[in-house]
């Protein structure tokens, strides 16, 4: 396979003292989510011989100044400019020497057993190049990006025109999200998401690390495809993690649309050059169409908000606390009672569905300092599978802060 100018090679010899895994997190203006992510990583690495690298892409929210002292045993890299996701990850990959490398988004929360289970799978499957996991959205529902097929021209066409959503379980129309596989069973896939991407170092040495031509989006697709072409297999493991899905870039924005589809254009030119000008025209038309839809979606939502405020000025939201009375008191002290109304919830081991079947709940609050992340993620997954979708807040009483997708509540000092 011919290497592009920015597709980098890695040469690190294995040694007997080599650590088991290097966790790499690239951050950009998401310090509250990053703190949560690193805290979860710290729990997950207990008892493992590991190294952690945090690469900050010139954040303006004081990320390193705020967090480095809390995680002094991690290696921090401060970039003086936003070098992009691929280049920032490569910086840390080159600095590491572990047998496995885990690329992890800062807007994720992993369970205490996530890394250990992933390493066990990689160790028991010598043909594995990369491993992805079961990603959950903030309402507990399954994130389809957890597993994908190679975006060939046909597969990409099916996604762009909506055929994949009309026939999600079809192997012919729905390969982009591979919906014909059971999401609760481990299986081979083609594309692993860069939000959680466990990589075998020997595979990186053979196939190269991330292609820095991709600034944001697409680099995980490109690397996954190169691993497949190099003779490795990529897998999906149904252990759940939480992914807030891009706090810095909303999927309804034109910026996301342009960045994602431009990355697809780079991928086509690199791997499907025979498709040539037709792929270029198709992708550019998709950018225009999706851009128009994003513009209309933003303005429709604004109009809906204005209408709701005009006819229903009471915008109170309801929340339930999954925990004990002390947790409920902490949540009540953090949230504004003028905006939020508390409803009763069972204790941790209670029957969640029976309690919520008679209630309309906007959000569930959990004490992430008292409960295991693995237990919280499992409950999110089970609750969503029962058809009960609502926003989940992670509460940290010691810092008086609560975090969900796009929402942070707490003391003014903590929420800055």
pLDDT tens digits along 68-105:
999 999 999 999 999 989 999 999 999 999 999 999 99
Q: What is the crossing angle of helices 254-271 and 153-160, to 10°? A: 160
Q: Determine what percent of the chain falls in helix, strand and coil, rounding each to the nearest 5.
A: 40, 20, 40
Return mean pLDDT, the chain: 84
User: CB of 138 within 8 A of CB of 242?
Assistant: yes
Cα–Cα distance between 157 and 410 in angstroms, integer? 44
The CB density around residue 78, as the number of other CB atoms within 10 Å, is: 14
Is residue 280's pLDDT more than 60? yes
Token pair of 408 as six digits = 């942070």
Q: Which residue has the higher pLDDT, 197 or 350?
A: 197
Q: Using alpha carbons, select from 323, 302, 322, 315 the residue that is nearest to residue 341.
A: 315
Overall fold of domain 317-415: Rossmann fold (3.40.50)
Q: 9-18, 125-134, 238-247, 262-271: which has the minimum mean pLDDT?
A: 9-18
- CB 100, CB 122: distance < 8 Å: yes
Residues 80-111 as b/e (b if ≥16 CB within 10 A, e otherwise) read eebbbbbbbbbbbbeebbbbbbbbbbbbbbbb
The CATH class given to the 21-147+183-248 domain equals alpha beta
Domain ranges of the chain: 21-147+183-248, 249-313, 317-415
Q: What is the pLDDT of residues 355-379, one digit of tens each?
A: 555 557 889 999 999 999 999 999 9
Report how far Cα 97 is from the mean position of its chain's Cα atoms.
24
CA distance 256 to 282: 18
Residues 266-278 as b or e (16 or more Cβ within 10 Å = b): bbbbbbeeeeeee
């Amino acid at each position: 396979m011919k290497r592009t100018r920015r597709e980098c090679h890695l040469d690190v010899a294995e040694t007997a003292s080599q650590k088991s895994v290097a966790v790499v997190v690239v951050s950009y203006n998401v310090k509250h989510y990053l703190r949560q992510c690193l805290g979860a990583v710290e729990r997950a690495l207990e008892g493992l011989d590991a190294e952690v690298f945090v690469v900050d892409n010139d954040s303006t929210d004081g990320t390193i100044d705020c967090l480095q002292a809390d995680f002094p045993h991690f290696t921090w890299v401060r970039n003086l400019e936003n070098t992009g996701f691929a280049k920032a990850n490569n910086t840390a990959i080159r600095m590491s020497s572990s047998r496995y490398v885990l690329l992890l988004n800062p807007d994720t929360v992993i369970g205490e057993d996530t890394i250990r289970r992933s390493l066990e799978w990689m160790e028991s499957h010598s043909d594995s190049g990369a491993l992805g996991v079961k990603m959950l959205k903030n309402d507990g529902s399954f994130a389809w990006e957890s597993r994908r097929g190679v975006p060939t021209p046909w597969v990409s066409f099916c996604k762009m025109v909506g055929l994949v959503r009309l026939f999600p379980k079809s192997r012919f129309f729905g390969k982009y999200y591979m919906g014909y596989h059971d999401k609760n069973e481990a299986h081979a896939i083609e594309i692993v998401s860069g939000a959680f991407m466990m990589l075998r170092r020997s595979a990186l040495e053979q196939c190269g690390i991330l292609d820095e031509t991709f600034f944001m989006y697409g680099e995980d697709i490109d690397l996954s495809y190169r691993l497949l072409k190099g003779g490795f297999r990529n897998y999906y493991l149904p252990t759940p993690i939480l992914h807030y899905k891009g706090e810095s870039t909303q999927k309804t924005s034109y910026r996301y649309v342009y960045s994602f589809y431009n990355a697809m254009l780079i991928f086509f030119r690199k791997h499907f050059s025979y498709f040539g000008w037709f792929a270029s025209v198709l992708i550019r038309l998709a950018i225009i169409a999706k851009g128009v839809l994003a513009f209309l979606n933003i303005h429709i939502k604004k109009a809906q908000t204005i209408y709701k405020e005009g006819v229903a000025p009471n915008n109170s939201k309801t929340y339930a606390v999954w925990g004990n009375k002390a947790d409920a008191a902490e949540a009540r002290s953090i949230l504004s009672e003028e905006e939020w109304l508390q409803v009763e919830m069972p204790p941790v081991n209670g029957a969640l569905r029976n309690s919520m079947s008679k209630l309309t709940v906007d959000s569930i609050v959990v004490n992430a300092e008292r409960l295991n992340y693995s237990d919280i993620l499992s409950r999110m997954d089970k609750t969503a599978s029962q058809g009960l979708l609502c926003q989940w807040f992670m509460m940290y009483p010691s810092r008086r802060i609560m975090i969900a997708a796009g929402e942070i509540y707490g003391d003014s000092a903590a929420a800055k």
